[in-house]
Amino acid sequence: MKQLTVSSLCEEARTFAKRESVHDEPTIYGVTDGKAVGTYFEHKFQACLRSKYSYIEGSSAKGIDFPELDVDMKVTSVKQPQSSCPFQSARQKVFGLGYSLLVFVYEKTDNEQTRTGKLNILHVIFVEEHRTGDFQTTTGIRQILENQGNIDDLLAFMSDRNLPMDDIQANKIAEQLLKKPPEEGYLTISNALQWRLQYGRVIEKAGSVEGVKRLR
């Protein structure tokens, strides 16, 4: 059995999305819970991959779907393209989540006559790890550094943005940033016990910026 790679994962995602978009599914008819729809889609995609490839499936320790590839899968409705992800540290808003994202954005319709649901996959986007930081945080920091900002400017900015960290962590991050600016991220990450990821900008920019690939 072939080993799953990021490249084959992206190719399979594109093919699967195309096939799923014309599939009528009785089990999701009338289902409005986004989590249930996402679980159905994820399980079906994993089953498809499992039949062709050898790979390790998500571990609860790292909490992502493809730990060997450092990729997590997200399935979300176009009505409100967002999802949650485990909070590790405030550093994730600045330096990225620490893994890439494979994002499926669907539009769900129900057919009353056949009593089936259909998921039209409107977007399949692969966000590389270095683009998974928070847009406003990373662009704000880059601007400060371009304007010859110092450690005090960075600390004030991070404090204004209420990044969930203590002074010691903030100083460490500021020192690191002075040596090297962060990559520009394209997610919107809201502070919470779990990060809330929003994908509006990713959908808008996919295919037009480096590191945010449009697969469909």
pLDDT tens per residue, range 87-122 = 888 899 999 999 999 999 999 999 999 999 999 999
Q: Mean pLDDT across the stretch 54-81?
A: 88
Residue 28 shares a structural domain with residue 56: yes
Q: Report pLDDT for 63.
A: 80
Q: Mean pLDDT across the stretch 201-213?
A: 95
Cα(140)–Cα(211) distance, integer angstroms = 19
What pLDDT digit, counting tens, does each position of 135-152 carry?
999 999 999 999 999 999
What pLDDT digit, counting tens, does each position of 61-73 carry?
568 999 999 999 9
Q: Report pLDDT for 131.
A: 97
Cα(182)–Cα(156) distance, integer angstroms = 17
Q: Which helix or strand (DSSP H or E) is residue 107 part of?
A: strand 100-111
β-pairing, 71-77 with 2-3?
unpaired
Please give the structure tokens belonging to residue 213. Answer: 């690939």
Report DSSP state, residue 103: E
Contact by Cβ (8 Å): 197, 187? yes
Can you give the residue range of the structural domain that contains 12?
Answer: 2-80+99-129+191-214
Residue 169 shares a structural domain with residue 204: no
Cα(69)–Cα(78) distance, integer angstroms = 26
Q: Is 91 within the bounds of a domain?
A: no
- Show Cβ contacts of residue 209 under 8 Å, excluding neighbours closer than 6 positions: 131, 186
Query: Can you tell me which residue has the tokens 């995609």?
Result: 45
Residue 106 shares a structural domain with residue 74: yes
Residue 157 shares a structural domain with residue 64: no
Q: Is 93 within the bounds of a domain?
A: no
Share of residues in the chain with pLDDT > 70 (%) = 98
Q: What share of the chain is helix, strand, coil (3-state, %, to 5)?
A: 40, 25, 35
Residue 109 shares a structural domain with residue 37: yes
Residue 60 shares a structural domain with residue 119: yes
Confidence class of residue 192 from pLDDT cuts 50, 70 and 90?
confident
Q: Inform me whether the pLDDT recorded for 48 exceeds 60.
A: yes
Question: What is the CA 112 to chain-centroid distance, rounded?
Answer: 33
Tell me what the pLDDT averaged over the chain comes to: 93
Rg (CA), the chain: 19
Task: Report how many domains make up the chain.
Answer: 2
Q: Inform me whether the pLDDT recorded for 58 exceeds 80.
A: yes
Q: Is 39 within the bounds of a domain?
A: yes
Residue 73 shares a structural domain with residue 142: no
3-state class (DSSP) for residue 125 = strand
Q: Is 87 within the bounds of a domain?
A: no
Q: Report pLDDT for 30.
A: 93
Residue 148 shares a structural domain with residue 69: no
Residue 71 shares a structural domain with residue 169: no
Q: What is the CATH number of the domain that holds 108?
A: 3.40.210
Residue 41 shares a structural domain with residue 103: yes
- Show Cβ contacts of residue 165 under 8 Å, excluding neighbours closer than 6 positions: 89, 90, 91, 158, 173
What pTM was computed for the model?
Answer: 0.93
What pLDDT digit, counting tens, does each position of 22-37 carry?
999 999 999 999 999 9
Q: Which helix or strand (DSSP H or E) is residue 18 part of?
A: helix 6-20
CA dihedral 39, 40, 46, 47 (to 10 degrees): 150
Q: Which helix or strand (DSSP H or E) is residue 108 part of?
A: strand 100-111
